[in-house]
A and B are shown apart, each in its own frame.
Chain A
Amino acid sequence: MAVSRAMDTFPRLLFHHSRVRGDKTAMREKDLGIWQSWSWSDVAEQVSALACGLAELGFRRGDNLAIIGDNRPRLYMTMAAVQCLGGVPVPLYQDAVAYEMLFVMQDAGIRFALVEDQEQVDKLLEIKAQLPLLEHVAYDDPRGMRHYNQPFIHDIEALLAIGRIHIRNHPDFLGDEIAKGAANDIGVMLYTSGTTGKPKGVCLTHNAFISAAKGGVEFDRLTADEDILSYLPMAWVGDHLFSFAQAMVTGFTINCPESGETVMTDMREIGPTYYFAPPRVFENLLTQVMIRMEDASAIKQKLFHYCMKVARRCGADVLDGKPVPVADRLLYLLGTLLIFGPLKNVLGMSRVRVAYTAGAAIGPDLFRFYRSIGINLKQLYGQTETCAYVCLQPDGEIKFDSVGKPAPGVEVRIADNGEILVKGPMLLKEYYKRPDATAEAINAEGYFMTGDAGLFDDEGHLKIIDRAKDVGKLANGAMYAPNYIENKLKFFQYIKEAVAFGDSREMVCAFINFDIGAVGNWAERRGIAYSGYTDLAAKAEVYGLIQECIEQVNTELLHEGALADSQIHRFLILHKELDPDDDELTRTRKVRRNFVAEKYAVLIDALYSGKSSQFIETAVKFEDGRQGKVAADLQIRDIKTFPVAGRADR
């Protein structure tokens, strides 16, 4: 087959691997209890057959093909097959219900779909009437498909069979098609989640994903010997980067779990060397470990807690290669032997060289736990429009509150309003059929506007602060990011909710809700008697406790450049907990800032007018629907703030 030697599209990369490491395992999937594998040459053969089968059905250059299903080798192969023909694969979220898929299917003008199983076929049949363009649906798993005799539904095996006949009759066809491909063709289209308005199809070129993949591979020195567990939705940009683009670039092995419920077992069996999970997965794992530890015998518990203490003291430094006292080093070694090693084994992380998390803020304790037991967990930052490739944390330079330094080849700039602007080869080409949205997202200088506000710290690490639209300014013009301050406060176990005020004001003040569990426990240990939240909220000791937390936040803020002015000057502890039933929080427990500001306007006035206490009476709804009133005389405290260095020079 005449294939260009340049490796600038995914099909060319694929055939390159089938030439240079044809026998090496490219994909694995657990089926009937056994890991089945496909070598790179198997994959190349199946991709060729699939591509030719699709061509035989009438798939043409420029067509879009929907891929719907869990991570399955055949589904990844289909992506490559579509790219061979110059088409665009469009992976959809497999757990979406039919009507949620409708918009994307219509928007992308889908003529062909390859789906995992009966469930997905049924969804497409349900909306088929609204999809006049849809011509062919192929499925991977034949289970339950015996009675589907519609002529437009095909078994993937049948597709492969007609593809193989096609190859025999037209041996040069596929090579020619691949040769027609260019690096700047669209390689894949991923839809944004559409939390703000309708989903948009993000068109990403072969070059964009190959650049992003190469950058990440060099950054973390990934090789063809990595093993990765592919278990996150194929429609998500991260999975496309890790399980498809990087695998294609380096030639490492992707492993598809048996089912959603077996991921933990499968992970233990595979022992990935390169791993990605959102923070909640890490959190669940830790919770499971802690629960099981509580059931362990007393000796084991003692040993575990002792070793974890050692790990907290020096684990992260050992991992970063920083100097550690010899005694600690020996203790840590012992801990690795007795606790950390077996623990990592249970988690399936014994072989993990590089682990990433992203998508949401990860709590510092959680982050430190994994690093301290020797798992190189790092954070990254990126979005669909940038192939999930903007910032990465370099080994040895890990800070829990930053997302690292700009990745190789990426230019990051902070706009005047604090918004993070990004430029580089990994940027989207356009939003599908949405020139208006494209023009809005990419500015005249070619920077993509992320919509996130951030800043660089003294060492050049990027910190994500807030959504850009939430960021305001203090009266003196300094940047003010309420979510950032509130998150900092909420990282303390004692603080449950915080609401910061400061937009267009001369200083930042805050309302605090403490965590009744944690503070109640703290009070009991000190012999402080209390009857409930409102009572505890009025105690001077509790004010003292919260004040210490806030002072610590202020010290941290002092070192954060533009945010030094956001130190909290005054605060009060609310006499009741903010509650979704009173409309103060959303159902997902996010503070409804404007509503709270309006409802407690009198308290805000008191904060800014310098009063030391304020009486308030608030209506509350009890769980049984009755109305009641809570009244209290709230104290207001001033907090020590630190002078901002260099202020006089400005």
Chain B
Amino acid sequence: MSREIGEVILDLKNVSLAFGGVKALTDISFDVREHEIRAIIGPNGAGKSSMLNVINGVYRPQQGEIILRGKHFSKMNPYKAARAGISRTFQNIALFKGMNVIDNMMTGRNLKIRSNLIQQALWWGPARREELEHRAKVEEVIDFLEIQHIRKTPVGRLPYGLQKRVDLGRALAMEPSILLLDEPMAGMNVEEKQDMCRFVLDINDQFGTTIVLIEHDMAVVMDISDRVVVLDYGRKIGDGLPDEVRANPEVISAYLGASH
């Protein structure tokens, strides 16, 4: 592969997050390097989704900081995260069910739209030109994800596996530099999983997008990720290459135990 893993672009330092008395994350530090596929694994309730929510600012950690491309954020919020090039997909698909695939994906372009509300309402001048540009970009993503045949289908009518793909498409339409995927393969059959793996690898390879991914399917994680963080009860218990993690006794007892 020609893709080369670069410098650390996202660094999390001593992050702790609690909801009242419940400690979701305790003193977690790890980093993500440019162009890599970084997986976060752990049993149910380990704090994986919370971790992702911290990265894109949905939750604010009580302690710790996020360093994104050298900039310190003690208070990240979703808007800032999006402006900084972070986009994500959701475990429970977050799409507008009544809108068609194109419209849903166009929402991913929202941040890049420069024309104002009135111009857009009148669909006049720059607004029109701009929409054509955004539509062209969305079409590229549609082509990339091979969903031409459902372009104009309302999302609510699509099967689950395709909805997941559209959700990924919406995130991709943002042209992110960091893509957060929250269990992209959950609930899929083998074939759909294979397709999704291929898309994740292709995104990483062709666009150089850095990917942070939560996944339950160990085979998938070990196959496609460059480095893996293991969480358990809100603590980091392992971090390293897939093989190192697999050999880590603490990880085995916490998570992989049953399968060994």
Contact = CB atoms under 8 A, between A and B. Distances in A.
B165 to A, nearest CB: 13
B1 A259 contact: no
Contact of B148 (A143, A146, A147, A262): A262
Given A146-B206, A259-B149, A33 B139 contact: yes
Interface in B97-139: 135-136, 139
Nearest to B198: A144
B13 interface: no
Interface residues on B, range: 10 to 19
Given A32-B139, A33-B142, A144-B202, A261 B148 contact: yes
Contact of B1 (A32, A144, A147): A147
Contact of B149 (A32, A34, A146, A262): A262
A259 B152 CA distance: 15
A34 B151 CA distance: 12
A516 B149 CA distance: 38
Nearest to A259: B148
14 contacts: A31-B143, A32-B140, A32-B143, A33-B148, A143-B144, A144-B202, A144-B206, A146-B2, A146-B206, A258-B148, A259-B148, A259-B149, A261-B148, A265-B149
A142 to B, nearest CB: 11
Interface residues on A, range: 10 to 19
B195 interface: no
Contacts of B146: 259
A285 to B, nearest CB: 16
Interface of A: 31-34, 143-144, 146-147, 258-259, 261-262, 265
A33 B151 contact: yes
Contacts of A262: 148-149
A146 B1 CA distance: 9
Interface-centre pick from A31, A32, A34, A146 (highest chain B CB count, 10 A): A32
Nearest to A265: B149
A469 B143 CA distance: 49
Contacts of A31: 143
Main secondary structure of the interface of A (DSSP, over half): loop
Nearest to A31: B143
B149 A147 contact: no
Main secondary structure of the interface of B (DSSP, over half): helix
A265 B100 CA distance: 15
Contacts of A261: 148-149
A69 to B, nearest CB: 16
Contacts of A144: 202, 206
A34 B148 CA distance: 11
Interface string B38-67: 000000000000000000000000000000
Nearest to B142: A33
Given A32-B142, A146-B205, 9 more contacts: A32-B139, A33-B139, A34-B139, A147-B1, A147-B2, A258-B149, A261-B148, A262-B148, A265-B152
Contacts of B140: 32
A31 B144 CA distance: 12
A143 B144 CA distance: 9
Contacts of B148: 33, 258-259, 261-262
B103 to A, nearest CB: 13
Contacts of A33: 135, 139, 142, 148, 151
Contacts of B142: 32-33
A488 to B, nearest CB: 39
Contacts of B144: 143
Nearest to B146: A259
A147 B1 CA distance: 7
B144 to A, nearest CB: 8
Interface in B204-243: 205-206
Contacts of B206: 144, 146
A265 B206 CA distance: 29
B182 to A, nearest CB: 26
A119 to B, nearest CB: 12
B136 A32 contact: yes
A144 B206 CA distance: 8
Nearest to A32: B139
A284 to B, nearest CB: 15
A258 B152 CA distance: 14
A33 B137 CA distance: 11
A147 to B, nearest CB: 6
Nearest to A149: B2
A31 B142 CA distance: 11
A259 B135 CA distance: 19
B139 to A, nearest CB: 4
Nearest 5 A-B pairs (CB), nearest first?
A261-B149, A32-B139, A33-B139, A262-B149, A258-B148
Contacts of A258: 148-149
A31 B2 CA distance: 28
Nearest to B1: A147
B3 to A, nearest CB: 9
A144 B136 CA distance: 20
A34 B143 CA distance: 12
Interface in B142-175: 142-144, 146, 148-149, 151-152
